[in-house]
């Protein structure tokens, strides 16, 4: 019975992955189609060449990379410092702060996007790249905290105190002792923040301004008018880049144990 169950399980798993990835595979295949229509007319790199000569797409790519880099770097710094502070708290305050930290992760994106839009309007902050970066930081910081906290929990707390006993200042002990110990979690949080920022659409849609589009908004607007084959090429490249980043994140986090509390 066990071999049959194993075969049935593998077939079921294969069908699930086929359902999830078949549309993406078709999209990648058609990004090499010579024709702009759905009928296959020959293999070509035509749409990839047109992609990199399209100024509108390149501008959206620039905005996407700029926002992702700035938001992920600032989120990593702030999230790491927040994780260190949370780690030093007592049980009940720590539990309360962690519950608040989980809210942006569990909150629907549309609620986050609309609430941030109303906040920027209330504060009279002009929407654009700045609001886009602030919005992306709002959902990236919790992921950094959740990536760094397990490494702090695994770290031997005595090494920090030993560094202080040997004459290091608190700041130097933090920089030379604590940071290297938690660096895997910091890098994982950075990569995850970068990936989430590139991938985001709903929050970006509500918090961006006129003339500032990232790739997700550009693809959405293009899809409503009829998909240009260059978008297929762009989507294929985005899928490959994000898949590579996720593989790196998975490799770095596979040894992490969820021992936050």
Residues 108-125 have pLDDT tens digits of 889 999 999 999 999 998
pLDDT in tens, 48-83: 888 888 888 888 889 999 999 999 999 999 999 999
Q: What is the pLDDT of residue 211?
A: 80
pLDDT at 260 over 50: no
pLDDT range class, residue 145, cuts 50, 70, 90: very high
- Going from the C-alpha of 101 to that of each of 59, 98, 113, 201, 252, the distances in angstroms are 34, 5, 17, 21, 22
Under the banding of pLDDT at 50, 70 and 90, the label for residue 17 is confident
Residue 149: which domain range?
Answer: 55-253
pLDDT tier at 258, thresholds 50, 70, 90: very low
Give, as one character, the DSSP assignment of residue 174: I
- Give the residue-averaged pLDDT of 214-232: 78
Asked, for residue 76, whether it belongs to a domain, the answer is yes
Is 145 part of a structural domain of the chain?
yes
Q: How confident is the model at residue 252 (pLDDT cuts 50, 70, 90)?
A: low
Domain count, the chain: 1
**In this structure, is residue 148 part of a structural domain?**
yes
Range 127-143 average pLDDT: 92
pLDDT at 2 over 60: no
**3-state class (DSSP) for residue 43:** strand
Cα–Cα dist 240/215, whole Å: 15
Would you place residue 257 in the very low, low, confident or very high pLDDT band (cuts 50, 70, 90)?
very low
Residue 253, pLDDT score: 57
Tell me the C-alpha distance between 239 and 218, whole Å. 16
Q: Nearest-CA neighbor of 186 among 255, 87, 105, 83?
A: 83
Q: Which residue has the tokens 């609001």?
A: 131
Average pLDDT value for the chain: 83
pLDDT at 171: 84
Residue 17 lies in a domain: no
Q: List 115's β-bridge partners, or say none.
A: none
- The answer to whether residue 44 is domain-embedded is no
pLDDT of residue 203: 92
Is residue 112 in a domain? yes
User: Do the domain assignments include residue 258?
Assistant: no
Which residues have a Cβ under 8 Å from the Cβ of 38 and sit 6 or more positions away?
A: 30
| Rounded distance between C-alpha atoms, residue 84 and residue 119, angstroms | 28
Q: What is the pLDDT of residue 74?
A: 95
- Cα distance between the two ends of the chain: 41
- The CATH number linked to 228 is 1.10.3720.10
Core vs surface per residue 52-88: b (16+ CB within 10 A) or e: eebeebeebbebbeebbebbbebbbeebbebbbebbe
C-alpha–C-alpha distance, residues 228 and 223, integer Å? 8
Between 2-16, 67-81, 121-135, the lowest mean confidence (pLDDT) is in: 2-16
Residue pair 207/117 in contact (Cβ under 8 Å)? The answer is: yes
Give yes or no for residue 29 having a pLDDT over 80: yes
CA distance 111 to 240: 29
Residue 20 within any structural domain of the chain: no
């Amino acid at each position: 019975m066990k071999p049959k169950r194993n075969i049935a399980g593998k077939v079921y798993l294969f069908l699930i992955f086929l359902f999830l990835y078949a549309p993406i595979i078709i999209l990648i295949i058609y990004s090499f189609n010579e024709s702009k229509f759905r009928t296959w007319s020959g293999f070509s790199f035509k749409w990839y060449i047109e992609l990199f000569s399209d100024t509108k797409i390149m501008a959206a790519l620039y905005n996407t990379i700029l926002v992702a880099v700035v938001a992920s770097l600032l989120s990593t710094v702030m999230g790491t410092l927040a994780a260190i502070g949370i780690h030093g708290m007592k049980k009940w305050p720590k539990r309360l702060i962690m519950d608040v930290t989980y809210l942006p992760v569990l909150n629907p994106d549309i609620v986050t996007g609309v609430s941030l839009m109303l906040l920027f309007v209330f504060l009279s902050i002009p929407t654009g790249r700045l609001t886009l970066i602030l919005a992306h930081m709002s959902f990236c910081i919790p992921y950094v905290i959740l990536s760094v906290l397990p490494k702090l929990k695994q770290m031997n707390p005595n090494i920090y105190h030993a560094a202080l006993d040997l004459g290091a200042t608190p700041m130097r002990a933090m920089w030379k002792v604590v940071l290297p110990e938690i660096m895997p979690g910091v890098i994982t949080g950075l990569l995850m923040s970068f990936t989430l920022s590139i991938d985001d659409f709903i929050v970006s849609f509500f918090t961006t301004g006129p003339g500032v589009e990232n790739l997700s908004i550009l693809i959405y607007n293009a899809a409503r008018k009829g998909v240009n084959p260059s978008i297929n090429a762009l989507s294929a490249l985005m899928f490959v880049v994000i898949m590579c980043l996720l593989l790196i994140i998975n490799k770095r986090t596979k040894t992490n144990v969820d021992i936050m509390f």
